[in-house]
Amino acid sequence: MRIAIGNDHAGTDYKLAIVGLLKSMGHEVINHGTDSSDSVDYPDFVHPVANDIASGDAAYGIIICGSGNGAAMTANKHQEIRAALCWNKELVGLAREHNDANILSLPARFIAIPQALEMVRTFLTTDFEGGRHARRVEKIPCR
C-alpha cells in the first residue's frame, strides 16, 4: 500500500521512525515532509499529502506537526479528506471505524514516538464499519 507522509520541523524524528515502521510492514512511502529541524510552514508539507489521497496516488496519509491541529485543519480543507487529530490509539480506532479517516494527524509535542508508532499501526489495521456511519460520513463534505 502507498502511504503519503508530511511533517514540519516538530515532526521530523517522528516521521523518520514512522517511515521505518511503514517500510518494515511492506508499505511504500511518499515522503513530503522536511528532514530538518529548521522551522518550516506545515501547509507546504500537508497539502501534497492531501493531494495524494484525493488523487488516489496514496491510500492513506500521515501528517505531523507540533500540536497536530494546524496540519489537520490544512488537510481538511480538501473535499475528499477526513483528517483525524488523535493523541491515543483508542481515538485512532474510532476515527477509522466511525469516520473513515483517511489521514492521521499526530501532535508531536504531546505524544512519544513509541505511542505514535502504535497509533499508526492501529490506523492501518482498523477498518471502517460502514452502516450507519457511512451515511454520516457522506454528509461531511460541503457540496
Strands 60-65 and 103-107 come out as parallel
**Does residue 3 contact residue 27 with C-beta atoms inside 8 Å?**
yes
Average pLDDT over residues 38-63: 98
90-142 pLDDT, tens digit each: 999 999 999 999 999 999 999 999 999 999 999 999 999 999 999 999 988 88
Angle, helices 12-24 vs 113-125, to 10°: value is 40
Active site residues: 65, 98
d(CA 27, CA 124): 10
Question: What domains can be seen in the chain, in order of their start residue?
Answer: 2-138 (3.40.1400.10)
pLDDT at residue 75 greater than cutoff 90 = yes
pLDDT band at 11 (very low <50, low <70, confident <90, very high): very high
